[in-house]
Amino acid sequence: MSIERAIVEARRKPWGSRNLLPWSDIAAGDDPIGELWFRRADTTSPESVLLLKLLFTTEPLSIQVHPDDIFARSIGLANGKTEAWYILSAVPDARVAIGLKRSLSSTELRTAISDGSIVDLVQWRSVRCGDAIFVPAGTIHAIGAGIVLAEIQQHSDATFRLFDYGRQRELHLENAVAAAKAAPAPRQSPSRRLNETRTALVTSAHFFLEQIDLAAGSVWTLDAHNEAWIILIKGQGQMAAATMSAGQAVFLEADQLKIEVGPEGLRALLAYPGPHADSVALVEQYPDMPGHPRPKTEEVQTWSR
């Protein structure tokens, strides 16, 4: 049983930002920060199944692909990397790439990586604040400039670059060709409202990503059977013995977290491992007054994509 206010680890990236406000007050200095990784506060505890990040882009990221579990284990890694993004902010022309415009053979993909023409074959789409995007392992993808996003993923840093805009970093031709599904991305299922407070954004065998919206002044308990991450993206609330605001996160495992919502309400992202969508309960707590109905623990439907 564990409830921990997450600690943050900054990762320097050439495409990152020197201004992380309002999501973090970490000063980047002359070396831009591209990613904030959220870690368990108890460094002696086992590594979490899921990894939560914030990404800040002022330049496009590399065109890349992540391996699935089978390929990752064939090259000695613990697991692959399926991920999902939630757009926290985006400039008007911001875009991401998901999949290719057309299917390629392994030979065609190898040539496109070698001569750089892969940059013209990825399928770009516009994004705006509030978009949720599912990126299954094997999907060729990229993130454009001018975006802040939250990412939930399998706990892995396995990334194979196909194109890097001349940054002189290593490309990973052989592994990229072996890992990639060189085709258009499958159609993503739309978000689904579970109840008045919970919206399922992305559902997969590896994790579930939800948006939760809690009314001003309300009090809740979040009961996680296994592990769960919650990161605030709007408003404030008291949890884990602290006042939490946008960009701050809590990790819990087999425990119950009390959430006291601030005067402006609270919006957060909630992520937990799949494949079952009913491993987390969110229950409003009411004053113990005569005649006041007690809440029932909600039943969350389970489905697969």
Tell me how far CA of residue 177 lies from CA of 25, 81, 289, in angstroms: 39, 16, 63
What does residue 112 show for φ and ψ, rounded to 5 degrees? Answer: -65, -35
User: Of 12, 161, 187, 267, which residue is the catalytic one?
Assistant: 161
95 included as an active-site residue: no
In whole angstroms, give the CA distance from residue 131 to residue 281: 24
Kindly provide the b/e burial profile for residues 227-241, where b requires at least 16 CB atoms within 10 angstroms of the residue's own CB: bbbbbbbebbbebbe
Secondary structure (3-state) at 71: helix
Of the candidates 152, 176, 148, 181, the residue with the CA atom closest to the CA atom of residue 164: 176
DSSP per-residue codes, 104-133: --HHHHHHHHHHSGGGGTEEEEE--TT-EE
Nearest CA among 267, 269, 155 for reference residue 209: 269
Location of structure tokens 């921990």: 4
Beta carbons within 10 angstroms of residue 187's beta carbon: 7
For residue 38, give both structure tokens: 């959220």
Please list, residue by residue across 261-275, b when 16 or more beta carbons sit within 10 angstroms of its beta carbon and e when fewer do.
bbeebbebbbbbbbe
d(CA 72, CA 3): 31
Element holding 69 (H helix, E strand) = helix 69-74
Question: What is the separation of C-alpha 66 from the centre of its chain, rounded to a whole number of angstroms?
Answer: 14
> What's the angle, vertex CA 203, arms to CA 200 and CA 205, rounded to 5?
150
Catalytic annotation, residues: 161
